[in-house]
Structure 1
Amino acid sequence: MPENEYPLPESLPERQREERLAKGVPSGEMRKKQLLKLKNILVEREKEFTDALYSDLGKPAFESFSSEIAVLLNEIDYVCKHLDKWNRPKASRHLKLGSVEVLRKKRQPHGSVLVIGSWNYPVQLTLMPVIGAIAGGNSCVIKPSESAPASAELLKEAINQTFPSEQLCVVTGDAQTASRLTSAPFDLIFFTGSGKTGKAVADQAAKRLTPVILELGGKNPCILDETGFSAAAVRDIVWGKFLNAGQTCIAPDTLYVHRSVYEQTLDEISASLSAFYGEQPQASGDYGRICTEAHFQKVVGFIGQGTVRHGGTNDRSDRFIAPTVLTDIEPGSPVLEEEIFGPVLPVIPYTDLESLLSSGCLQRDALTGYIFSKNNDRIQRFNDYMRSSTISVNQVIHHAASPHVAFGGVGRSGYGAYHGKAGFLAFSYEKTKVQTYHYLRFQGKFPPYSDRNRNALKKLRKWLL
């Protein structure tokens, strides 16, 4: 359908709802066909997506494939493999006094779903919830981030040429377009982005009592104790922090290092950064760029809040900020209070875990928490302390790429979860048909009531209700 024939954004949910009423809920096979169409787009246009991601974020081709396209392909394969099992109706029979009650439970789609994507992983974080929405049997309207325009336009072209708007439709535009969409009568809204914008989306949705799934961010703490220290552990932390130039919602935000290995850790961080990106990281083809001018200015502002141990340079014309390590930071500094979301790593020494946890400097409801340790008691203590939906032990980032792990926030980091079966459940609800076959009706439930019938009810309540 030509672009100019698409309806106004706010009319799309009604149009998709009418289509659903006319044709019914799509079967499992139909859903898998839609998912395979989406997979074909990613496979056949991989080079175009790689180029778009480079244009938006300076993202290396390896990172584009590993952290965006491959994750989506694996998710589609996993969902298609298990969808029939997840979607299978479940029936149960219950004997009651004078009757048999049959319950038939089936997952149902919410209907028309709005997905608002984020700019830092503009392909993966836009399409991952779409996979869950399709698996759940929904139609979907997709609003990519305007801050990653090349990726947004490619998503719009590829999806709108492949799918009818009654199934999937991409709408591009700025914050005003997003506001129009969140005001429209969708049956569910999925938003990935900042806490500030997430609150605005939730407030707008509340006016229609529209359910919302929010995937936000937070200051993910990373603890490295003396038993977990090694060159390999530091290398993993550095990789996870500076992947995508630090613009990752589950990146280690601040690193807390046991004082006994503090200097060694700082040396290993510098060695890893030099090995990864060379002495001139701006010339490295493996290091990305900051997405927007406004975010560039914010991240640069953090650099002056401590002693620069490594990096510290930047180039506004290239949206480049060198991988930077900060030490000697004053408590209460913004870099320790706000989500950094960029290539600046504060490294803070600590003496013992209990004192660190009791200090209140760790965000308990961050999107995730990391600990590198061989001490099981400390690992368990950290696990008990954190309110996040996941903690990751002796590795970073990888858990978020697994369809076996539900991905979602708690508190300030959002609410709701998706990926794998969790995505199927998030984008559907359980509908139960209750059918009772009576062979002896209890007449005492009807007025006028009597003490005799009330006493009988007390004795037989488990069989009657």
Structure 2
Amino acid sequence: MGDQGIIALRALLDMQQEDILRRAVPTVFERRNTLLRLKQMLIDHEAEFIKALVSDMRRPAFEAFSFEIALLLNEIEHVCGSLRKWTKPQRSYQFKFGYIEAIRAKRSPYGSVLIISPWNYPLQLALMPAISALAAGNRCVIKPSEHAAATSELLQKVVSQTFPPEVLSVVTGDRQIAKLLTTLPFDLIFFTGSGETGKAVSQQAAMQLIPVILELGGKNACILDETGFSPETIREIVWGKFLNAGQTCIAPDTLFVHEAIYKRTLLEIGAALVEFYGEFPKDSKDYASISHYRHFQKLLHFMEQGKVRQGGAYDADELFISPTVITDIQPGSSILREEIFGPILPVIPYSNLEALLDQKMIQRDALVAYIFSKNEQHISLIQKYMRSTTVSINQVIHHGANPRIAFGGVGRSGHGSYHGKAGFLAFGYEKTEYNAYRYLHVSDKFPPYTDQDMAIVRKFRKWLL
């Protein structure tokens, strides 16, 4: 990007920040109107967005609507219905010796927020944090992924037609544009993506003391014990794993199966894959492709690290990798350490759950942990072991679509949460108005101090301080 482009980006940020200084914090009515305009934009351009998502990743139209547009519409409706309650100031009064404290605390927006979104859900993960940011009273600049070019370009077009740039704007371009944006003095940065890029964003923000919310990934273990097996369970796991060709940050990464049901599980997985995608998944209209070639190559490397039990077909020209199940993975393989983020499911047998946890094969701070079980002791053991913000029992994926559940990571899977009220809180800070109504002048708090003053403080500290 040349100097003119840099100047344009800085001018956009200046425009938003000047508007923040010139105008008061948006009222609840104004925020709701902004969100409802966003909702109407999604409704009016639904067919165009679905077409763009299909173009970018061969996304099935059903998935494009359900996991991009429908989730956003549900989030907007939930936020609009709750916003007045969330923004209501919290008041408290305390009687002190000589005065009355009156405290009024309310959420205040940070100002201008930069949102850097990924390619796997290019519409949802661009606008979901924007909903939270706008609900909290901020202005936003969104940088969508260049690996979802059709969706990104359409989003830029319709946002510019719907909102003034000082409220919401979309900037397209490659990773250099994203890197440049992180050098500008935004008031908050929200990043969704890989851990390595998240570190770079965090380091750049730290140089300017800009707060950051990081939504990263992780190896989401899925544990299936001997009490949790059923054909229905396997269908749930297979659906969650291969949704969007496995390119979902909360997809089950690796399946750990009790040895007593290991062979039956492999057979049921195979049957479910044929049921969902047919004998030739490449011909299925219900199965997505890989987003870009570099990620495609990484997935092929993962596939070589175990024995292929199901699938294994691929086509580089179409960025296609069939739903693949692998077993017999060699210890130390990178697929056991790194997030897969694709349609490859390692299935690993275990004999004892406590022993499995002792082997440290399960990432404790993954984005989510899944367990399918009827054994309360096993469930309790996983809940105690995991540091993840969510442990999902006998279900996959669904928690991420619920606006009443905070969505976020801890440790290597990120920090900070959003969706619903969690997002409203994350994109603002508490601002306090403190008033002291004096009814008695107390001179003993001023120097010089005496032993008697110390004795009074010791005796009446709760009422003095």
TM-score higher than 0.5 here?
yes
C-alpha contact (below 8 Å) 1:10/1:180 kept by paired residues: no
The residue type equivalent to 1:315 in the other structure is D
Q: Please report how far the alpha carbon of residue 214 of structure 1 lies from its aligned counterpart in structure 2 after TM superposition.
A: 0.1
Contact conserved, 1:234 with 1:268, CA < 8 A, in 2? yes
- Let me know the Cα RMSD of the aligned residues: 1.1
Work out the CA distance in 2 between the residues paired with 1:323 and 1:440: 76
Shift of 1:340: 0.5
Match of 1:289 in 2: 289
Measure how far apart 1:6 and its partner are.
11
Distance 1:369 1:391 in 2: 5
Shift of 1:148: 0.6
Stretch deviating more after TM superposition (300-309 or 340-349): 300-309
Match of 1:448 in 2: 448
Q: Secondary structure of 1:214's partner?
A: strand
Distance 1:460 1:12 in 2: 55
Task: Give unpaired runs (5+ residues) of structure 2.
Answer: none
Structure 1 equivalent of residue 173 of structure 2: 173
> Is 1:10 matched up with 2:13?
no
Per-residue CA deviations over 1:58-78 (Å, capped at 9, x if unaligned) read 100000011111000000000
Q: Which residue does 2:93 correspond to in 1?
A: 93
Distance in 2, Cα, partners of 1:136 & 1:297: 41
Query: What is the one-letter code of the residue matched to 1:311?
Result: G
Identify the residue that residue 34 of structure 1 maps to in structure 2.
34
Amino acid at match of 1:211: P
Instruction: Tell me, in whole angstroms, the C-alpha distance in 1 between the residues paired with 2:436 and 2:247.
Output: 55
Letter in 2 for 1:236: E
The separation in 1 between residues aligned to 2:148 and 2:415, in whole angstroms, is 25
Distance 1:96 1:451 in 2: 22
Structure 1 counterpart of 2:138: 138
Which digits, 9 at most, give the CA deviation of each residue in 1:138-162, with x for residues without a partner?
Answer: 0000100111101100110010111
Q: Could you say which residue in structure 1 is the equivalent of 2:323?
A: 323
SS in 1 for 2:146: coil
Q: In 2, are the aligned partners of 1:11 and 1:184 still within 8 Å (CA)?
A: no
CA distance in structure 2 between the aligned counterparts of 1:161 and 1:204, rounded to whole angstroms: 32
Alpha-carbon contact 1:389-1:408 (below 8 Å) kept: yes
Give, in angstroms, the shift of residue 14 of structure 1: 2.4
Q: Counterpart of 1:46 in structure 2: which amino acid?
A: E
- The corresponding residue for 2:216 is 216
Please name the residue that 2:462 is paired with.
462
Counterparts of residues 275-286 of structure 1 (less than 5 Å): 275-286=275-286
What CA distance in whole angstroms lies between the structure 2 residues aligned with 1:54 and 1:335? 28
Q: Distance in 2 between matches of 1:102 and 1:280?
A: 69
Residues 412-439 of structure 1 deviation map (CA, whole Å, 9 limit, x = unaligned): 0000000000000000111110100011
Q: Is the 8 A contact 1:10 1:183 kept in 2?
A: no
Q: What SS is found at the alignment partner of 1:147?
A: helix
Deviation at 1:347, TM superposition (A): 0.1
1:255 paired residue number: 255
How far apart are the structure 2 equivalents of 1:384 and 1:11? Answer: 49
Task: Kindly provide the amino acid, as one letter, of the partner of residue 170 in structure 2.
Answer: V
Identify the residue that residue 202 of structure 1 maps to in structure 2. 202
Matching of residues 79-118 of structure 1 within 5 Å: 79-118=79-118
Write the letter of the residue equivalent to 1:213. I
**What is the alpha-carbon distance in structure 2 between the residues aligned to residue 170 and residue 299 of structure 1?**
31
Any runs of at least 4 consecutive aligned residues in structure 1 with deviations exceeding 6 A, and if so which? 4-7
The farther-off stretch of 12-21 and 390-399 is 12-21
Give the match's secondary structure for 1:9: helix
Local SS of the residue matching 1:108: strand
**Equivalent position amino acid for 1:284 in 2:** S
- Letter in structure 2 aligned against 1:401: A
Aligned counterpart, 2:226: 226
2-structure distance, mates of 1:63, 1:20: 38
Question: Number of residues paired by the alignment?
Answer: 462
AA at the equivalent of 2:462:
K
Distance in 2 between the 1:193 and 1:87 partners?
A: 30
Tell me how far 1:299 sits from its aligned partner.
0.4
The TM-score with structure 1 as length reference comes to 0.98
Q: Distance in 2 between matches of 1:165 and 1:386?
A: 42
Deviations 1:197-237 (A, max 9, x none): 00000000001100000000000000000100000000000
1:13 is displaced (CA, Å) by: 2.6
Contact 1:14-1:185 within 8 A present in 2 as well: no
Cα distance in 2 between the residues matched to 1:294 and 1:245: 16
**Matched residue, 1:189:** 189
Partner SS for 1:318: coil
Deviations 1:21-58 (A, max 9, x none): 11110000100111011111111111111011111111
Taking structure 1 as reference, are residues 5 and 200 closer, same or farther at Cα in structure 2, changes over 3 Å only? closer
> What SS does the corresponding residue of 1:100 show, helix, strand or coil?
strand
Deviation at 1:441, TM superposition (A): 2.0
Following superposition, the deviation at residue 251 of structure 1 comes to 0.5
Identity, % of aligned positions: 60
Matches within 5 A, 1:350-429: 350-429=350-429
> Residues 57 and 186 (structure 1 numbering): CA distance in 2 closer, same or farther, change over 3 Å?
same
Structure 1 unaligned spans of 5+: none
1:305–1:335: 8 Å Cα contact kept in structure 2?
A: yes
Question: Structure 1 CA distance, aligned partners of 2:10 and 2:234?
Answer: 48
For 2:111 and 2:394, the matched residues in 1 are separated by: 40
1:46 match? 46
**In the aligned structure 2, how far is the partner of 1:184 from the partner of 1:69?**
30
For residue 10 of structure 1, report the CA deviation from its aligned partner.
2.9
SS of 2:147 mapped into structure 1: coil
Q: Distance in 2 between matches of 1:20 and 1:253?
A: 43
3-state secondary structure, aligned to 1:305:
coil
Which amino acid in the other structure matches residue 412 of structure 1?
Answer: R
Task: State whether residues 106 and 430 of structure 1, in contact with CA within 8 Å, keep that contact through their aligned partners in structure 2.
Answer: yes
Q: Structure 2 CA distance, aligned partners of 1:401 and 1:6?
A: 37
CA positional deviation for 1:334: 1.1
In the alignment, the residues of structure 1 paired with residue 239 and residue 10 of structure 2 have an alpha-carbon distance, to the nearest angstrom, of 42
* Distance apart, 1:7 and its partner CA: 6.3
TM-score, length basis structure 2: 0.98
Distance in 1 (alpha carbons) for counterparts of 2:408 and 2:197: 17
